[in-house]
Amino acid sequence: QLVALHNRGVALMGQFNYDEAYRIFEQVHQALPENLEVQVNWAIASLNRQGAVEEEGNGQPPKAQDPYAHAMGLLQDVLRKDPNHLRALYCLGLLHLHGGRPAEALPLFDQVAAADPTDAYAAYNVGRCYQEAREFEEAVLWFRRALRNDPHLSSTYYSLSQALARLKRSKEAASLLADSERLKNNPCARPFKFVYMRMGPKAEVVALGRREQPPAPTGPPFAEPRPLPLARDALRWRPKGASLTACDVDADGRLDLFAAAALEGGKRSVLLVRTDTGYKPTPHPLADVPDVRAALWGDIDNDGLIDAYLCRAGGNQLWRQSSPGTWEQVDPASGAAGRSLEAEDGALVDIDHDGDLDILVVSRDAGLEMLHNTQDGRFVLADTDVPWFRHNEPAVGLMPADLDGDRDLDLIVVRAKPPHHIYINERNWTWKETIDLGGFRFAECQAVLVADADVDGRPELYALHRGTVTRWQSDDKGNWQSAQLAALEPARAEQRPQLAIADVSGTGRLRLLASTASGWAAIPLDGPPAEGATPVTFQGKARKLHCWLLLHDDPAAGPSVVGLSQGGMQQWGPANRQRFVSLWPSGKHDSNMQLRSNASGVGTRMAVRVGSRWTVVESTRPASGPGQSWQPVSVGMGPAERADFVRFDWSDGIMQTEIGLDAGKLHRVVEENRQTSSCPLVFAWDGSGYAFVTDVLGVGGVGFAVGRGVYAPSRPWERLLLPAGLPAPRGGRLSLKLLQAMEEVCYVDAARLTAYDLPPGWQMVLDERMATAAPEPTGEALFYRTLYRPDAAVGPGGEDALSAVSDVDGVAVEPGSRDRRFVGRTFPWSVELRFAEPLDRRGGRLLLIADGWVEYPYSQTMFAAWQAGAAYESPTLEAQGSDGRWQTVLAGFGYPAGMPRSLAIPLPELPVGTQRLRLTTTMEIYWDRLAIGVAEPCPAARRHELPLLRATLARCGFPRRTMGPQRLPNYDYPRRSPFGDMRHLPGLYTRFGPVEELVQAADNALVVCGAGEEIHMDFAACNTPIEPPWTRRYVLEAEGWCKDMDLYTQHGETVEPLPWDPNRGELRRRDALHASYLTRWESGD
């Protein structure tokens, strides 16, 4: 029982539940006080607990109550009992190094490295100790040793480059940085960070006891072929030119088969619906369409129902389900048919990464056609700067894949005779054609496939031509080379040459399946190309097999192969395999959520980790075609009962991790509806902890796309009125945190805190908002004593909205009907305010005061809306005068710049007799309070500028995010995880530690911080006490910018270029500060 309890603690550490794991290890240690492994595990849980993040690393031992101190005591006790305990030595070294004591850490790491010469992490940390001591020659030797032991320890590249730079070996240093960048897409790459599972194996907890693993099966991975069980076997097959695809057409959870051009007669296609006993030929509108050569399956309109695109001789057709089971042909006038009359193949992929499936078709008469889905029922034929796009050169195949590792899909177009064409996606409907990939353009090939079988983050290209299988792959320098993998018996003239890739053994190793004269063969890919002999895992033999399909219909046993010959259909079922897990990604959220990735999940990359082994699979196109199935993918688990974790890289560029997926099951994984970019969050000390306030600097977004190649200007400052009572003083200081919880880089130039003391009866707001039209906000403090609330309010559906807009209570007017195609967009809606007395007779300077929040769109959402002609219309304020006419008062004036906050804008003169105001927009804005204030000078108000006492940059992790009704966000600071499925943009960031001189003044000297990092600031509390009924309010004055990793954000792939304001400071001083502070390289997760 103790062993089981202890191992539950190990599992909890893997889920980052350190507090619960700590309590379990403590309990087990009390029962087993002499078990040193338990004691070290307890220490590791302690040093990872959240309280430890406040440790300052100032070279002094941690305080007694600090979790680090507790961990240090446990480890020192272990070493008194066993001076050679490697895990204890290593973890104690980590504590000393992280605490700024490298001289004390060095002998500990050195002892570990001597005892275990293969430990890359120990060697790396020895190098760090020498680097801290400025002994750069020694540091270089140890960093090189670390790389020899583990070339995937990515932090070593930057550390080594820094040491070489210090030795004036700049050419070597630059080469190391380039090597580091090439690892960014490699799932095996691991940066060193002082967080659990990033510090090395010796800093991870270990389980007690060993479980016996079942022996690996022996024998072929496929059974002998059997006839496919058909409910009616009287079908008259004529398979020449046929193609097979799989899809759950009837949405019953089982895969059906569609055989195009497979029967005798006029229509020639058949739908085989899966039943309890086999497959049943079933009448269907798609099977009635004549001259179909291939079917492409996917949810074209993102409504949750699968659709089909039929590549035909005589004109292509798009069929959609208007309701479950009801199929209708889409009007050719929509542009979906394209121009080709002799289509060979196609693909449904989100080629422009705007959240929907586009249509690609290759044909002998029209070449390549790229039909962009505008999400409004139209399909626009791409008109690009690449000349070949406008030519009608015959094409017979295509393969979309990310060839250059920049998260978007590139495209290979295969011609019957070379040269083939390779297009690199530059986004914004822009392409460039590469000259070659190691000779591929001019190689003869009949089928092409792209995969990352060796899991190095760089794709390989596989081609089949007359039995010869060739692989092209790039080296560390980006140079492509080819090698022959196999020489098979060439397929016959009437056969379709095909390639597919999958794990067919349950080991996590991918195999390439290729057509042969006698059927198909499975070829191993995890060794060097054979000379002479062709290694084949399995030969699927059948008489005159015309086409075949990898069918992923068994989550436990993995894929089978279904083939079609003159004699009918047969199936090679799984045999002699280890465990599998089945993954089916979907970008569809529930009906109330808007989409970012296509609902079919096409284009999702999945990296599966089991023990120390990785397997990478994709849903884009795991087979060469013709046709495109919609089915799950299978990945072998070996003897493991579950995958440690699976990292999903969705087609919108977002990363998501799923932990502990059980083997033997089908896991339908839906993209999380989480916010992926935001400006930094603000937390304020409330007397007992750090309370979430809102976000800031949303107006300073850099490179935010608003159309094709058009970017919104940024305003590098914001004034934020903090809620009453925040921050609460403690010990003569006021504490705030700016925390970057999203996949963004934040550039903070300055932060100031001011206090306003208001006499009785007075309140204040700020002239602030995300301005989309004049007048520009000033950030000025506006004082008022009189506030007019509406006597009635009417929501977008005619409902009573008075209670929603009367008070700041987190209950807002429900926006109008959402446009589910685009995040943050609605159809036009209004809220009307009615006042008892005419506002124009009130006198004074009137203000519109609004509290609320907004659901922000993203750059790629804006691009998608641009191509659909769907505008995001900022709120417009109208007034109705006594004549009954509505007049525009402020056109498109702006909105709350992010999460809950107040805005105020001075109003121009209102029409005579105004008693009604109306706010109209197509944005998803949640109006919490709407009122009219009367601004007045307040000479008695006192303003205090509060000195900055301390500012520290640190890694803090990711506060738990919850979403309340009406998308009201909240963040729980004490409940933080070290990981958050967020990546760092590659580049230099500010080193951790004090940053006061960077945030004291707005001078372009920036604190550059990334995901999971915070700037903690302490300001001096005001010396003047406040006595009721006076009140005190605080304003955070923030200067800076932020930038996300959206695929359409300008320069969204790197930290640079650093933003700057020409009106701030001298560049010489900025550059000197940046040289001193911008010394930390980060990239990826």
* pLDDT, tens digit, 9 for 90 and up, residues 816-847: 999 988 999 999 999 999 999 999 998 889 99
Dihedral in degrees, nearest 10, Cα atoms 881, 887, 891, 894: 30
Q: Determine the distance from the C-alpha atom of residue 686 to the mean position of all C-alpha atoms in its chain, rounded to a whole number.
A: 33
C-alpha distances in angstroms, 689 versus 18, 443, 500? Answer: 20, 65, 55
DSSP classification of residue 1004: S
> Residue 287: in which H helix or E strand, if any?
none
- Phi/psi of residue 566, nearest 5 degrees: -60, -30
C-alpha distances in angstroms, 565 versus 488, 518, 737? Answer: 20, 11, 68
- Phi/psi of residue 487, nearest 5 degrees: -120, 100
Phi-psi region of 403 (alpha: psi -120 to 50; beta: other; left: phi over 0): alpha
Q: In 3-state terms, what secondary structure has residue 498?
A: coil
Q: Determine the distance from the C-alpha atom of residue 516 to the mean position of all C-alpha atoms in its chain, rounded to a whole number.
A: 40
Instruction: Return the closest-CA partner of residue 316 out of 281, 352, 290, 298.
Output: 290
Phi-psi region of 293 (alpha: psi -120 to 50; beta: other; left: phi over 0): alpha
Instruction: Return the closest-CA partner of residue 318 out of 1068, 326, 327.
Output: 327
- Phi/psi of residue 176, nearest 5 degrees: -65, -40
What residues does 954 pair with on adjacent strands? Answer: 1014
* Sole residue written with tokens 């309070």: 929
Instruction: Return the closest-CA partner of residue 849 out of 798, 756, 786.
Output: 786
Tokens at 715, concatenated: 């305003």
- Given a contact cutoff of 8 angstroms between Cβ atoms, the answer to whether 500 and 442 are in contact is no
Specify the pLDDT at position 65: 53
DSSP classification of residue 699: G
Instruction: Supply the pTM of this predicted model.
Output: 0.88
Specify the pLDDT at position 54: 44
CA angle 124/454/357 to nearest 5° reads: 115
Which amino acid is present at 640?
Answer: A
Strands 545-551 vs 538-541: parallel, antiparallel or unpaired: unpaired
Gyration radius of the chain's alpha carbons: 32
C-alpha distances in angstroms, 1073 versus 280, 390, 1006? Answer: 73, 52, 9
Instruction: Kindly report whether the peptide bond that precedes residue 727 is cis, defined as omega within 30 degrees of 0.
Output: yes
- Given a contact cutoff of 8 angstroms between Cβ atoms, the answer to whether 848 and 960 are in contact is no
Q: Report the b/e string of 237-276 with b at 16+ CB within 10 A.
A: bebebbbbbbbbbbeeeebbbbbbbbbeeeebbbbbbbee
Tokens at 840, concatenated: 């124009």
Q: In 3-state terms, what secondary structure has residue 972?
A: strand
| DSSP annotation string for 331-343 | PGGGSTT-S-SBE
What residues does 524 pair with on adjacent strands? Answer: 511
Q: In 3-state terms, what secondary structure has residue 831?
A: strand
Instruction: Kindly report whether the peptide bond that precedes residue 419 is cis, defined as omega within 30 degrees of 0.
Output: yes
Tokens at 158, concatenated: 């930057």
| Helical segments of 99-154, H only | 102-115, 120-132, 136-149
- Given a contact cutoff of 8 angstroms between Cβ atoms, the answer to whether 774 and 908 are in contact is no
Tokens at 879, concatenated: 């007034």
**120-132 and 155-166 helices cross at what angle (nearest 10)?**
30
Distance CA 665, CA 604 (A): 19
Distance CA 424, CA 442 (A): 18
Specify the pLDDT at position 210: 64
**136-149 and 155-166 helices cross at what angle (nearest 10)?**
150
Strands 901-906 vs 710-711: parallel, antiparallel or unpaired: unpaired
Instruction: Return the closest-CA partner of residue 1006 out of 959, 957, 1055.
Output: 1055
DSSP classification of residue 1081: E
Low-confidence ranges of the chain (pLDDT < 50): 51-64, 532, 590-591
**Dihedral sign from CA coordinates of 964, 968, 974, 977:** positive
Distance CA 1019, CA 647 (A): 41
pLDDT in tens, 395-448: 999 999 999 888 899 999 999 899 999 999 999 888 998 877 889 999 999 999
Distance CA 719, CA 698 (A): 11
Specify the pLDDT at position 543: 82
CA atoms within 13 A on the CB side of 268: 20
Specify the pLDDT at position 57: 38
Domains of the chain, each with CATH number or no CATH: 36-54+62-203 (1.25.40.10), 605-670 (no CATH), 675-758+946-1084 (no CATH), 763-937 (2.60.120.260)
Q: Report the b/e string of 85-103 with b at 16+ CB within 10 A.
A: bbbbbbbbbbbbbbbbbbe
> Residue 945: in which H helix or E strand, if any?
strand 942-946
Distance CA 812, CA 805 (A): 6
pLDDT in tens, 466-510: 999 999 999 877 889 999 999 999 988 888 899 999 999 999 999
Which amino acid is present at 522?
Answer: A
Tokens at 958, concatenated: 């990711």
Q: In 3-state terms, what secondary structure has residue 931?
A: strand
Specify the pLDDT at position 58: 38
| DSSP annotation string for 390-453 | GS-----EEEEE-SSSSSS-EEEEE-SSS--EEEEE-STT-EEE-S-STTGGGS--SEEEEE-T
Distance CA 885, CA 888 (A): 10
- Given a contact cutoff of 8 angstroms between Cβ atoms, the answer to whether 24 and 31 are in contact is no
Q: In 3-state terms, what secondary structure has residue 12?
A: helix
Tokens at 514, concatenated: 């290729």
Instruction: Return the closest-CA partner of residue 645 out of 150, 24, 187.
Output: 187
Tokens at 44, concatenated: 């590791």
Tokens at 88, concatenated: 């204890």
Specify the pLDDT at position 464: 96
Q: Report the b/e string of 287-324 with b at 16+ CB within 10 A.
A: bebebbbbbbbbbbbbbbbbbbbbbbbeebbbbbbeee
